[in-house]
Amino acid sequence: MAENPSSSSSSSSSTRSSPVHHASLVDPSIHSPALLQLVDIKLSRQIIDYIVDCVADTVDFAMGRPSLPLSRRSSRRGALGKFTTFVTNVLTRAEATMPVILSSLAYIDRAKPHLHIALEEWALERVFLGALILAAKYLNDSTLKNIHWSLCTGVFGKRDVGRIEREFLDVLNWELSISEENLLAHYDGIYTALSPSPTRRHFHQHSPYSKSSRHHVRSHQRSCPELEPSSPISSEGTSSPQTPSTSHHNFPSFRTIPYPIISALPMPVATD
């Protein structure tokens, strides 16, 4: 039976006019309302502070230090001023979107139980940057190249950026898929950091994604090879930018950056 031309035209028009969310490219009705709230948040100092806290907690855990209670995190930020400036510079220079930021936080969560950090210096920067680069590349068909990430950091050379990326991939065991639950694990923390308005507070109180019901990513146990420190000339022979100065800190040149070993913990031996 021949199809009615007007019906076909109407159907095509309806399909073309269906709403599509800019972050997922699917109908927003498919997503959780809480997730839509998260991805539409704008980058702010509160979000940056939240990212800094998440990374610092992960590094503390990887080095065997106890996690700070929420009441003491604000006092810790004073000692993390250099790292906060680094995060601010990278996110603004890279024009990182909220979906990328949320995905990087999900990767940090996933890596946390499996990280081994042998040297603390620059570990915060490496964990943050590794997660951010992987999130940006996983979510976007066209994204910054490693030389551009090097420019965004103002600290790491192109080769170091590539090594940070590979390092974090090993820790994640190349498991880059992200679910809504992975992202919504940060709903409570982000809206607490933002001091939500009464409307959002009402939604927050009725959100099914409270701390007691957060999804925990299944752990993976895999032995990954330990990486050796990069050689003193790892950044020579590349077109690495000169280290820029910020209004608060002067970062050291590329050749003086120690290389903390960040790798996956070895697989535990099963016992009978």
Q: Model confidence over 39-48: pLDDT tens digits?
A: 888 999 999 9
- Looking up tokens 């880059």 gives 176
Measured distance CA(103)–CA(81) in Å, rounded: 24
Can you tell me the mean pLDDT for 123-142? 94
pLDDT at 234 over 70: no
Phi, psi of 10 (to 5 degrees): -65, -40
Q: Which amino acid makes up residue 111? A: A
Task: Give CA separation, 148 vs 56, 154, 166, 264, in Å.
Answer: 25, 10, 17, 27
With 90 as the cut, is the pLDDT of residue 126 above it?
A: yes
Q: What is the mean pLDDT of residues 67-73?
A: 66
Instruction: Report the mean per-residue pLDDT for the chain.
Output: 70
pLDDT in tens, 151-202: 999 999 999 999 999 999 999 999 898 888 888 888 888 888 887 444 444 4
**Domain extent listing, the chain:** 42-229+242-264
Poorest-pLDDT segment among 12-26, 103-117, 221-235: 221-235
Mean pLDDT value of segment 109-123: 89
Mean pLDDT of 113-130: 91
Identify whether the C-beta of residue 116 lies closer than 8 Å to the C-beta of residue 65.
no
CA dihedral of residues 41, 206, 31, 55 (deg, nearest 10): 50
Contacts 24+ apart (CB under 8 A), 218-221: 219/113, 219/114, 220/114, 220/173, 220/175, 221/114, 221/267, 221/268
Distance CA 185, CA 42 (A): 18
User: In the predicted model, what is the mean pLDDT of residues 136-155?
Assistant: 93
CATH number for region 42-229+242-264:
1.10.472.10
